Structure 1
Amino acid sequence: MTKTIGFLVFPSFQILDLSGPLAVFDAPTRALSMAPYRLVVLSEQGGPVTSSSGLEVMTQALGKNPLDGQPLDTLIVAGGAGTREAAKAPALLAFLGQAPERCRRVASVCTGAFVMAAAGLLDGRRATTHWHYAASLQRHNPRIRVEADRIFTKDGPIWTSAGVSSGIDLALALVEDDLGLDIARAIARHLVVYHRRPGGQSQFSTLLELDPPSSRIREALTYARDHLHETLSVERLADVACLSPRQFGRAFLAETGQTPAKAVERLRAEAARARIEAGREPIEAIARGVGFTDPERMRRAFVRAFGQPPQAIRRVARAASAAGSPG
């Protein structure tokens, strides 16, 4: 059955937040001789809507029925500079607030999470957004559990993604959810993009290309990302992979080029860096939160990974934030 995918935009939206996911959902029809999706771009008033880059996109009004009575299966909210005004638009928020009753899934790209939050869709849920705005999302919406170091999150029927290009990762995950891993991989190859950065991967990760061929090592890595705050011994990860510690250590090194201990340290450092750059959380609390036993151990890991300690990275992030402007 063909599924209708709706993309919700507004004046000054980010064009890649629309075009990236749209290309993913369009690919099965064009590249794989399938027609699993029908695509529609929506806005509050309909007609042409201008993106932040000046490019206009034709849209259907929210109150219309653009696809012959077909209900929306999935609604994806774009982000961009216009999210502040969109988050104050009563008709848009009313439509979005009712979306979970009408759609199987509701998702956002980048700062589209602020519009979702304004509609009340993220209350009590896990969510992510562009790392630069994660602290603001958390500060203004204390009922949301903001996970600043994720590429995308799924909490029930609500999906959110990090900044800009991560909308492609989100869309590939949605397609994989619908059509399976093989189709999603084929789409990624067709679009010449990485398939796909795992949702739990840090937005800053240098391990983004780490895609072990065996499912056992992939499962161990996913488990490590989801349990960074806990003790992650080789024995524990080997249990997840259903291997002996010796077999696991050899297989992990062969498939990733790193020992399990080095990979876990790097994942923790990357997760800590995202939190350090995103807000004013005490460094001691961050160290505990990502699984370092003390700040000194985290400092040494930062120097090894990034060439500078956490305090220096925070100073740079604050200076960059002071020089920038909200989006």
Structure 2
Amino acid sequence: MSNTFCGVPVRRMGILLFDGVKTLDFVGPAEVFVEANQRVAGYEVVLLSVDGQPVQTSIGARVEVSAAAAEAGRFDTVIVPGSEQPPAKFVTPELLAAARHLSFHTRRLTSICSGAVVLAQLGLLDGRRVTTHWKFAADLTRRFPAIKVDADAIFVRDGNLYSSAGVAAGIDLALALVEEDHGADVARQVAQLLVVYMQRAGGQSQFSASLAGPAPRSPLVRKVVDVICADPAFPHTVQTLAAHAQVSIRHLTRLFRAELERSPAEYVAFIRFGVARDMLHAGYGVTEAAIASGYGTSEALRRAFIARLGISPRKYQQRFRSTGVPAVPEPMEAVS
């Protein structure tokens, strides 16, 4: 459902809160929509609860809401955030009833993090592809075998149902919704205002390069990894890294292979490639990404991309030049 402001449609974005709700799960997306209003008169954010009473968030803050879910009217989009509490505690019959009511009074239905469990228990995700925070994915798969859980995606769209991995990924999904509503330029401007990446596409992994693969087990390897990640463009060599760690090249190489399954040189290349890829996602040019990540030239980065992915960085960037949710001319009216 939409109202108008100076003749411009305003989309009502309902966010269903409850005691123990993860604060960033709802604050992040809400700020995206509020920030978007600096560029377009696009959104009215409406905080809801089961009974219209204030809720206490994960950080202990008391949050006032605008209305009870059953009395709030119709929405363009409804968002159900998650919680760090186990679903058995926060997914109450009252919350399920409120979410069910809202699902009949919105055009788009969205879950953040373990909010997917609420929609799953209502049967709304059966046969659908969804995602959630990686630590909840296995349990969601086990409990609801009719759901196609993508445990690695940042966010997923399946028809009018949207889901995200939660926490910061909720911001990525909100930016995707803004792009769907108002185009990539507006979404990019909002991302710039919030000083966040614009182009973490939905299919991008939940794990950054430095988090992928085995984690360092020893303080010495962690120390060297931190040096690499802090300045990937520095001309790191196994000699400089061993000198920093005050160990022999042979010893450092042995530790890296044992803990990270890569040599020091391979790990530097791995991190540099991840940084370059993320910069391309964020909209930087190929040359900028090459210099900042340590490749030095666009040709060196091009060779690395072709070797790893079989395509050039420019073609790769073209595939991910938006948030990954296609713009579709859907009507503003809510559907029942």
Fold in common (TM above 0.5): yes
Distance 1:182 1:13, change over 3 A: same
**1:134 aligned partner:** 137
1:211 is matched by which residue type in structure 2?
L
Q: Work out which of the residue numbers 62, 72, 89 in structure 1 matches 2:92.
A: 89
Structure with more relative contact order (C-alpha pairs < 8 Å, separation 6 or more): 2
Q: Work out which of the residue numbers 153, 171, 184 in structure 2 matches 1:181.
A: 184
**2:153 aligned partner:** 150
- Note if contact 1:131-1:162 (Cα within 8 Å) is conserved in structure 2: yes
- Note if contact 1:86-1:115 (Cα within 8 Å) is conserved in structure 2: no
Residues 1:260 and 2:306 are matched in the alignment? yes
Distance 1:213 1:123, change over 3 A: closer
Cα distance, 1:254 vs structure 2: 6.8
**1:169 aligned partner:** 172
Matches of 1:190 and 1:257, distance apart in 2: 34
Structure 1, unpaired ranges of 5+: 218-251, 266-327
Matches of 1:156 and 1:210, distance apart in 2: 29
Q: Work out which of the residue numbers 6, 12, 20 in structure 1 matches 2:20.
A: 12
**1:24 aligned partner:** 32
Residues 1:35 and 2:41 are matched in the alignment? yes
TM-score (norm 1): 0.63
Query: Which aligned pairs between 1:100-115 and structure 2 lie closer than 5 A?
Result: 100-115=103-118
**For 1:209, what is the secondary structure of its paired residue?**
helix
Cα distance, 1:153 vs structure 2: 0.3
**1:51 aligned partner:** 57
Q: Work out which of the residue numbers 69, 83, 96 in structure 2 matches 1:62.
A: 69
**For 1:203, what is the secondary structure of its paired residue?**
coil
Query: Which aligned pairs between 1:239-318 and structure 2 lie closer than 5 A?
Result: 258-263=304-309
Cα distance, 1:141 vs structure 2: 0.6
Cα distance, 1:86 vs structure 2: 6.5
Superposed CA offset, 1:93-126 (max 9, x none): 2332344432110001111111111121111100
- Note if contact 1:97-1:120 (Cα within 8 Å) is conserved in structure 2: no
Cα distance, 1:48 vs structure 2: 1.3
**For 2:109, what is the secondary structure of its paired residue?**
strand
Cα distance, 1:87 vs structure 2: 6.0
**1:211 aligned partner:** 280
**For 1:2, what is the secondary structure of its paired residue?**
strand
**For 1:76, what is the secondary structure of its paired residue?**
strand
Cα distance, 1:10 vs structure 2: 0.8
Report percent identity of matched pairs: 43
- Note if contact 2:113-2:164 (Cα within 8 Å) is conserved in structure 1: yes
**For 1:39, what is the secondary structure of its paired residue?**
strand
1:55 is matched by which residue type in structure 2?
A
Superposed CA offset, 1:274-306 (max 9, x none): xxxxxxxxxxxxxxxxxxxxxxxxxxxxxxxxx
TM-score (norm 2): 0.61
1:142 is matched by which residue type in structure 2?
P
Distance 1:88 1:23, change over 3 A: closer
Distance 1:44 1:98, change over 3 A: closer
2:62 is matched by which residue type in structure 1?
E
Cα distance, 1:255 vs structure 2: 6.6
**For 2:304, what is the secondary structure of its paired residue?**
coil
Superposed CA offset, 1:234-253 (max 9, x none): xxxxxxxxxxxxxxxxxx96
Distance 1:213 1:103, change over 3 A: closer
Distance 1:159 1:75, change over 3 A: same
**1:323 aligned partner:** none
- Note if contact 1:20-1:168 (Cα within 8 Å) is conserved in structure 2: yes
- Note if contact 1:96-1:116 (Cα within 8 Å) is conserved in structure 2: yes
Matches of 1:253 and 1:94, distance apart in 2: 57
Cα distance, 1:213 vs structure 2: 9.3
- Note if contact 2:12-2:45 (Cα within 8 Å) is conserved in structure 1: yes
Matches of 2:119 and 2:89, distance apart in 1: 10
1:5 is matched by which residue type in structure 2?
M
Structure 2, unpaired ranges of 5+: 1-8, 210-273, 287-297, 312-336
Superposed CA offset, 1:15-48 (max 9, x none): 000110000000122x32x321111111112221
Matches of 2:281 and 2:113, distance apart in 1: 28
In our comparison, the structure showing a higher alpha carbon Rg is: 2
**For 1:193, what is the secondary structure of its paired residue?**
coil
1:24 is matched by which residue type in structure 2?
V
Cα distance, 1:185 vs structure 2: 0.1
Query: What is the Cα-based RMSD across aligned positions, in Å?
Result: 2.7
